[in-house]
């Protein structure tokens, strides 16, 4: 008998199983497509879990037991070929000491990723190019790309971009939940500092182009978005953003922004965070915003993170009925395809960083998304673009000659 989620996805009666020996044709078709295409997720916060004592990304974990959503065995189980592991630093003080701490934090995360890949060389390899992804897929291993969420570890030192590039970084999300020295964030509680990119940020974008690091405009203020888009000579990405027309939140992209990314050849990667997929109640959003902002301007500690995790779990339980579904994810994909075309949409789950919906709890279940895409009549060629083809095309265009 099929898992319950498949009956929900396919519009079937969960109490009536198909005839013995007859698999549902939509499910059968989706499974074959999922096995053939290269699946890539541009935003996975696995390093958050990897920093916890005793956590081994090469060992299978249970989502309900330890809240982890990503490891190499579950990637293989779900048919997830490649993921960008995000080196994430919460925005702390914009001071020399704050930037030094952020740099140390980032370098530690790069080290943890490289150590895990060395330890589990039979399961996964570092990828830095589209060719790497396809090569590693053929070897039946997981391809691990590296991105950086929040340019905070750059501080005011442009040379650090080369340092991070050499360690494998292939995109940088310019800001996070608060402003940094690069530019304004979409959600800083104190409002904008620069009215877009800072003077330093206007040096960061060309240097990223020169090196071949993709400019990621998730989290940035609208003014920063348009500054970065105008300045970049390469296509830009939104590594984990959704549609403001469906869910009105400043972290999401307006239709004009989505069209502008597409016009420059870029791609918007839909994420799985419930708050950005469907509009929560005012009380729910206020509670979640308070949790997110509690990190801003502070040096993170283990005790602080433990308190925030406990509070997040409590809020999630209180507002469980408002949680988004797998269908909501594909509603955002549909909208981007409608206004910008099939060549400009992809997947950036935000697993281990708040991503996860009813029907898609961790990386082992990502085939469910392919089932829903098939149900909505996307072709195999379309699904191949959504699941990785579009992003890899853009990654191949990231480096711009002087």
pLDDT tens, N- to C-terminus, the chain (402 residues): 344 344 444 444 333 344 556 779 999 999 999 999 999 999 999 999 999 999 999 999 999 999 999 999 999 999 999 999 999 999 999 999 999 999 999 999 999 999 999 999 999 999 999 999 999 999 999 999 999 999 999 999 999 999 999 999 999 999 999 999 999 999 999 999 999 999 999 999 999 999 999 999 999 999 999 999 999 999 999 999 999 999 999 999 999 999 999 999 999 999 999 999 998 656 656 666 666 565 565 555 666 555 655 555 554 554 555 799 999 999 999 999 999 999 999 999 999 999 999 999 999 999 999 999 999 999 999 999 999 999 999 999 999 987
Best CA proximity match to 148, nearest among 45, 55, 233: 45
What helix, strand, coil percent values describe the chain, rounded to 5? Answer: 45, 15, 40
Determine the Cα–Cα distance for residues 286 and 280; give it in Å rounded to an integer: 9
Pair (186, 312) in one structural domain: no
Same domain, 40 and 77: yes
For residue 299, the enclosing domain spans 283-323
Model confidence pLDDT, tens digit, residues 244-301: 999 999 999 999 999 999 999 999 999 999 999 998 656 656 666 666 565 565 555 6
For residue 382, the domain's CATH number is: 3.20.20.140
Query: Is residue 338 in a domain?
Result: yes
Pair (127, 76) in one structural domain: yes
N-to-C CA span, the chain? 59
Pairing state between β 82-88 and 124-126: unpaired
| Segment 120-147, tens digit of pLDDT | 999 999 999 999 999 999 999 999 999 9
What is the per-residue pLDDT for 299?
53
Three-state secondary-structure class, residue 84: strand
* Domains contained in the chain, number: 2
The pLDDT score that the predictor gives to residue 296 is 62
pTM for this prediction: 0.88
The DSSP line for 169-224 is EEEEES--SS--SSB-BSS-TT--SSSSB-TTHHHHHHHHHHHTPEEE-TTB-HHH
Residue 113 inside a domain? The answer is yes
Q: Is 232 inside a domain boundary?
A: yes
Tell me, what's the pLDDT at 401? Answer: 81
Does 295 share its domain with 381? no
Same domain flag for 333 and 296: no
pLDDT, residue 279, reads: 82
pLDDT value of position 23: 75
- 112 and 208 in a single domain? The answer is yes
Residues 23 and 79 in one domain: yes
Q: Are residues 295 and 373 in the same domain?
A: no
Confidence at residue 218, expressed as pLDDT on a 0 to 100 scale: 98
Residue 10 is assigned to a structural domain of this protein: no
Domain match, 56 and 132 both: yes
Residue 4 lies in a domain: no
Residue 8 placed within a domain: no
Q: Answer yes or no: do 142 and 197 share one domain.
A: yes
Per-residue confidence (pLDDT) for residue 110, from 0 to 100:
98
Report d(CA 369, CA 32) in Å as an integer.
13
Same domain, 302 and 268: no
Please indicate, yes or no, whether residues 169 and 312 belong to a single structural domain of this protein. no
Contacts made by residues 75-80, CB under 8 angstroms, sequence distance 24+: 75/124, 75/142, 75/363, 75/364, 76/123, 76/142, 77/364, 78/362, 78/363, 78/364, 78/365, 78/366, 78/367, 79/34, 79/35, 79/39, 79/366, 79/367, 80/39, 80/41, 80/142, 80/363, 80/366
On whether residue 14 sits in a domain, the answer given is no
**Residue 44 domain-assigned?**
yes
């Amino acid at each position: 008998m099929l898992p319950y989620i498949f009956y929900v996805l396919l519009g079937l009666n969960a109490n009536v199983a198909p005839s013995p020996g007859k698999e549902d044709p939509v499910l059968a078709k989706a499974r074959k497509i999922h096995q053939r295409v290269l699946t890539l997720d541009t935003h996975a916060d696995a390093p958050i879990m990897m920093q916890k004592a005793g956590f081994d990304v090469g060992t299978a974990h249970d989502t309900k037991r330890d809240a982890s959503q990503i490891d190499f065995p579950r990637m293989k189980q779900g048919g997830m070929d490649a993921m960008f592991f995000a080196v994430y630093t919460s925005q702390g003080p914009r001071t020399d000491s704050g930037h030094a701490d952020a740099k140390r934090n980032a370098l530690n995360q790069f080290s943890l990723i490289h150590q895990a890949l060395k330890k589990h060389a039979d399961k996964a390899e570092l990828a830095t190019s589209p060719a790497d992804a396809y090569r590693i897929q053929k070897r039946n291993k997981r391809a691990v790309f590296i991105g950086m969420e929040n340019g905070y570890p750059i501080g005011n030192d442009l040379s650090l971009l080369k340092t991070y590039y050499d360690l494998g970084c292939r995109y940088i999300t310019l800001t996070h939940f608060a402003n940094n020295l690069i530019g304004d964030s979409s959600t800083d509680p104190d409002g904008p500092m620069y009215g877009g990119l800072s003077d330093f940020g206007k040096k960061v974008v060309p240097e990223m182009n020169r090196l071949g690091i993709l400019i990621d405009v998730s989290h940035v203020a609208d003014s920063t978005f348009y500054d970065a888009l105008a300045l970049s000579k390469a296509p830009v990405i939104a590594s984990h953003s959704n549609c403001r027309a469906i869910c009105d939140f400043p972290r999401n992209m307006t239709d004009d922004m989505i069209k502008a990314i597409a016009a420059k050849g870029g791609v918007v990667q839909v994420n799985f965070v419930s708050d950005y997929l469907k509009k929560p109640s005012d009380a729910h959003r206020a509670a979640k915003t308070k949790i997110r902002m509690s990190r801003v301007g502070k040096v993170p500690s283990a005790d602080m993170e433990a308190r925030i995790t406990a509070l997040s779990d409590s809020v999630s339980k209180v507002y469980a009925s408002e949680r988004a579904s797998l269908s909501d994810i594909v509603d955002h994909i549909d909208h981007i395809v409608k206004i910008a075309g099939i060549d400009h949409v992809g997947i950036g789950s935000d697993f281990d960083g708040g991503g996860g919906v009813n029907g898609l709890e961790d990386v082992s279940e990502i085939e469910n998304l392919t089932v829903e895409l098939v149900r909505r009549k996307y072709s195999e060629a379309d699904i191949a673009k959504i699941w990785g083809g579009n992003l890899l095309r853009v990654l191949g265009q990231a480096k711009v000659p002087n």
